Amino acid sequence: MSNHNLFLPSYFVKRFKSEKNSMEETINWQDFAKIDMRVGTVIKANDFPEARNPAYQLHIDFGEEIGVKKTSAQVTTLYTKEQLLGTQVVAVVNFPKKQIANFMSECLILGAVKGKDVELLQPKATVDNGLKIS
């Protein structure tokens, strides 16, 4: 019995296996449509010493329809609290609330993750709080 992988470079086999695994985890349009991503402005940023990993407690204004939501964000390696104030971010606003230490997180800000560094996803220009991402 032959093993067809013997004829493929190892990097190709690894890539194929990776792509295969990601294909098993695909979602359809209806799944994606359930995710409510919005733009909001950070209006308050506090230290969060009770968190297991370094984090801030953020209050984000998502406009009249949604209002202000709180979240815990592990973005301390690239951002100071002062830098975050007034910054627009993108967040998922329809997750259930989650208890993190003594704090109730109500949304999840989105960012590109590289190790412990999280680069926040932000609109290029200032837009209205609450605008939907699609």
The domains found in the chain, sorted by start residue, are 35-124 (2.40.50.140)
Half-sphere exposure of 23 (CA within 13 A, CB side): 6
Tens-place pLDDT, residues 35-87: 999 999 999 999 999 999 999 999 999 999 999 999 999 999 999 999 999 99
pTM confidence score: 0.80
Tens-place pLDDT, residues 16-36: 455 555 567 899 999 999 999
Tens-place pLDDT, residues 90-125: 999 999 999 999 999 999 999 999 999 999 999 999
Q: Which two tokens stand for residue 102?
A: 């003594």
**Owner of token pair 């560094």:** 117
